[in-house]
Structure 1
Amino acid sequence: MEGKELINDHIVNYLLGGEKEITDPVLQEWLAGSESNQQELERYRRIWEESANYMDMDVFDTNRAWVKVDKVNHRKVSLQRRLKNISYALSGVAAAVLLMVALSLTGWFDREQEVTVSLTADYGNRSEIVLPDGSTVKLNSGSEVTYAYNPQKKVREIRFQGEGYFDVSKSKRPFVVKMANGVEVKVLGTTFNLKAYPDDPTIRASLIEGHIELEHQNDRLVMKAGEMAEFDKRTNRLEQVEGDLSHSYGWLKNKLYMDDMSLADVCKYLERWYNVDIAVQEDLGEQIRYNGVIQEDTIAEVMEALSKLSNIAYHVKGKHISITSK
């Protein structure tokens, strides 16, 4: 292991130097040892050159970096010693360079390892991640996703809360999404929207393509494309629900569809989307209900639209908004 780490240090120094000719005697001796060593250095060189593209923020694409890593990873089939619990978040240029260079130099690509990947979308932000298995997850504001793969169990396991749009890559290895209250979604390859905020009274699954199984303890609900289902946290029941499927993932286009939605529920969405605190006059939150769609750029524009749709007045002070009747 020490020999490998020493060679890695020499490789890094060579790549940092930017020279075409190899003058390092240690590196020369290592390359002369076998053709596989030469191929390995060439692979590192290609990764290093590719990572230079990401230093230009105009062309940086985190998802593209993930796809490249995943393709390389799946071409490797040797089963070496596991690397336990690698954990990182995608957060810009440094993450991409670390992903493609540092992990490669440690031999990460050569193993089918136990790996954990996490991503959080804070209030006021949205994020997208391409998981190591090729699946993509788009996260709405205030959401968290953690992907874990166990090479012994051959299961892709997800810990999730918030709201996310999942496009799961097809595989014989089960893809299981676990949420609070013991609710699970099991898939092999499909597309669905999942809304599971901790402070919401329900968990809702909206299936766009494929099949999924929604489970809670001994209850099991098999869903087909075009169907929606909910788990009620108060009654611990799973049941199918009616509604417009496209409305469930309207947030992807910054649209809030209000289907007989109370002012209180609208404010809950706005607090997450815009990272604000909204105080509503007592009893007003459930009295006022909306039908329609909102698509505005700023919280001020949204509040102005709501005030025209109903008998409310609002006052904004920084991130704090108070709503009263007119």
Structure 2
Amino acid sequence: MINNIWILIGKKLSGEATAEELLELEELLQQGATDQYPIDMLEEIWKAEHQPKTINKLEDKWSAFESKLDAADTIVVEEPAPAENAETAKPKQGIIRFLKIISVVVAACFALVFVLINKKSVTNNNKPNEIVAPQNGISKIQLPDGTRVWLNAGSKLVYAADYGTEQRNVSLLGEALFDVVKDAQHPFIVTTPTISIKVLGTKFNVRAYNSDRTSETSLIRGRIELTVLKTPEKKIILNADDKVTINNEPLPGAREAVLTPQSGIKEETPLMALSRIHLAKKDTLPSEALWIENKLAFDAEDFESLAKKLERRYSVTISFQNEELKKLRFTGRFQKESIGKALKALQATTYFHYKTDNNQILVY
């Protein structure tokens, strides 16, 4: 079939194919041969390089063409015999041009495929790595340098494909605990929507959910340099057991004023607050990082912030009937309790009511 189709293509391009031969060629091409024999491309190149001429001795021409095909099959290259006259030389020159055109087209196709494959490979190699924790679970990963990271529910960590070669930069949306391998030549940098943290080797917890009113960094050991992205000229140095809380809502340089209904006195909320982590004697980690042990720990935390943690842990939505309820503060630990038992435990310490409608909870 291969030799036959090339003969038919050659006859079509030279304009000497009969109606039966054209019909046979069309049937072969419809059987899938167009993928291997790009007839349209060959025809365009043929028209550019060779104009069909009237050949009187067709038998001599195709005899020479079949000889060329036989020579190609046996990988033997021979010089064509000197033409006896101009009429027999012209068909041979046309066939040689045709074979050259085929070889150029095949080579171009291979080159194009090679370029596309290599381009795709380079693109995939440069694609950043992205890890997303499940909505109701915790993910633990190890970065190429050995740094360990725990991701809380719904959190996302992104780092470049060449992480560790020249720099150790990661982006975080959500909450994560980092246990960073020390490398003085390559500082470890965590960037969130609100803060940037630079470390050499340490262990710390970062909470930076978009839906939260505040962001928080708790340092368990080591030393870190923290920059608030709203005020990049100011840098904060944290030592072990330090915690900094960033207010995500106010504009740079401003302080938020809150009007309390009872007194009418304006209460200012600072852009950031420095405090200490909460570590109980019976715990191996501070309460800010106990989530990696599947514990929900809170110390003197307001109801609004606690509600966000309950929402992520139990996949519910909690709303408040009035603003005052958001300011109620709680201290405790939850591990295996259901959302109903957790709310009843909170209700036993402070006066409030709640009602549920599927996954919707209203506190009033």
Query: Normalising by the residue count of structure 2, what TM-score does the alignment of the two structures yield?
Result: 0.53
Determine whether 1:279 maps to 2:292. Answer: no
* Counterpart contact for 1:143–1:163, Cα < 8 Å: yes
* Counterpart contact for 2:145–2:164, Cα < 8 Å: no
Matched residue type, 1:240? L
Determine whether 1:251 maps to 2:291. Answer: yes
Determine whether 1:218 maps to 2:233. Answer: yes
Determine whether 1:310 maps to 2:323. Answer: no
**Who is 2:138 aligned against?**
126
Determine whether 1:241 maps to 2:256. Answer: no
| Structure 1 unmatched ranges of 5 or more | 1-80, 87-112
**Who is 2:188 aligned against?**
175
* Aligned-residue offset at 1:118: 1.2
Q: 1:160 to 1:83 in 2, by over 3 A?
A: farther
CA distance in 1, matches of 2:174, 2:234: 22
The ranges of structure 1 where at least 4 consecutive aligned residues each deviate by more than 6 angstroms after the TM superposition are none
SS in 1 for 2:291: helix
What's the CA shift string for 1:174-220, capped at 9, x where partnerless? 21111113x21111221100111112233211111222110131111
CA distance in 1, matches of 2:221, 2:307: 30
Matched residue type, 2:176? G
* Counterpart contact for 1:165–1:191, Cα < 8 Å: yes
**Who is 1:229 aligned against?**
244
What's the CA shift string for 1:132-178, capped at 9, x where partnerless? 22211111122111122547971111110111110112223221111
**Who is 2:309 aligned against?**
269
Q: How does 1:1-326 map onto structure 2 within 5 Å?
A: 84=122, 86=124, 116-150=128-162, 154-171=166-183, 172-181=185-194, 183-216=195-228, 217-233=232-248, 234=250, 236=252, 237=271, 240-244=274-278, 246-324=286-364
Matched residue type, 2:275? V
Could you say which structure has the greater relative contact order, defined with CA pairs below 8 angstroms and 6 or more residues apart?
A: 1
* Counterpart contact for 1:158–1:176, Cα < 8 Å: yes
Identity %: 30
- The two structures, once aligned, show a CA RMSD in angstroms of 2.7
What's the CA shift string for 1:15-40, capped at 9, x where partnerless? xxxxxxxxxxxxxxxxxxxxxxxxxx
* Counterpart contact for 2:150–2:176, Cα < 8 Å: yes
SS in 2 for 1:312: coil
Query: Normalising by the residue count of structure 1, what TM-score does the alignment of the two structures yield?
Result: 0.59
Q: 1:151 to 1:180 in 2, by over 3 A?
A: closer
* Counterpart contact for 1:219–1:238, Cα < 8 Å: no
CA distance in 2, matches of 1:203, 1:184: 11
Q: How many residues align?
A: 217
